[in-house]
Structure 1
Amino acid sequence: MRSTDERAAAVERRVKELARQKKQRQSRYLGLSAAAACLLVVVGMGAAMPGIMAGLSQGDYTNTGMMASIFYEGGALGYVLIGLLAFALGVCLTVLCFLLRRGSHRDKADENDDRNN
């Protein structure tokens, strides 16, 4: 038979395990939704490029080696758009890496706590 302290410890371990599983599910959902959003943005931009290229006149667009030159007729707006998208991608990647690292540290700490009990 278990004592009351042993039962309380077992319940506490189970509660911690359920909380850890819930956090893992949430992080998976967050990661999958972030990946889906990034894929949607990339596919959307890829689908929009033929329309942008068709709208440009052949005489104005002579240097195909420069990728940002497709926004030449739009003035600075195209360059600002590219800069904002690059910044947003960098911020998203930084936040994702930070969350992954913090989550791995938490998992290691939880494993160490479970081993000590």
Structure 2
Amino acid sequence: MRTNEARARLIHRRTAEIKQARRIKRQRRLDAACVAVCLLLVIGIGALMPGLMRNTVDSGIVHPSGTASLLGSHAALGYIIMGLLAFLLGVCVTVLLYRLRRREERQKREDAEDGEL
């Protein structure tokens, strides 16, 4: 027969396993949604590119170095949009790396707590 203390430990361990499984399931759903959004974004931009290139021929951009102006009718607007997109990309990568680091630290802490039990 098990003691009450052993039963409490088993209940605590099983509860932690269930919470971990739920967390993993939720994270997988979030990852799948993020991948789907990124794919839709890439496909959408790819679908817009032929129209942008057609506008380039009509607007008289001679130099291929003026490609930032493809996104706007004026050269300055295109560079502003490209700068904003680059900034947003940097923010997204920073947030992703921060979340990955926090997840790794949390997993290490949970592993250490499981080792104590």
Does TM-score exceed 0.5, indicating one fold? yes
Tell whether 2:61 aligns with 1:61. yes
Count of matched residue pairs: 117
Amino acid at match of 1:29: R
Q: Distance in 2 between matches of 1:27 and 1:4?
A: 34
Structure 2 partner of 1:49: 49
C-alpha distance in 2, partners of 1:82/1:92?
15
C-alpha change, 1:63 and 1:2, in structure 2 (3 Å) is same
Unaligned 5+ residue runs, structure 1?
A: none
User: Where do residues 19-98 of structure 1 align in structure 2 (5 Å cutoff)?
Assistant: 19-57=19-57, 60-71=60-71, 73-98=73-98
TM-score, L = length of structure 1: 0.84
Matched AA of 1:103: R
CA displacement at 1:2 relative to structure 2 = 0.7
1:54 maps to a residue whose letter is R
Residue in structure 1 matched with residue 2 of structure 2 by the alignment: 2
Q: Which runs of 5+ in 2 are unaligned?
A: none
TM-score after normalising by structure 2: 0.84
Q: Is the CA contact 1:52–1:70 (under 8 Å) kept in the aligned structure 2? A: yes
CA RMSD of aligned residues (A): 2.0
Q: Percent identity?
A: 38
Paired residues of 1:72 and 1:78 also in contact (CA < 8 A): yes
Aligned to 1:14: 14
For 2:9 and 2:35, how far apart are their aligned partners in 1?
39
User: Letter of the aligned partner of 1:56 in structure 2?
Assistant: T
Q: CA deviation at 1:51?
A: 0.4
Distance 2:51 2:112 in 1: 55
> Which of the pair is proportionally richer in helix?
2
Q: Please give the alpha-carbon distance, in whole angstroms, between the structure 2 residues aligned to 1:94 and 1:31.
A: 16
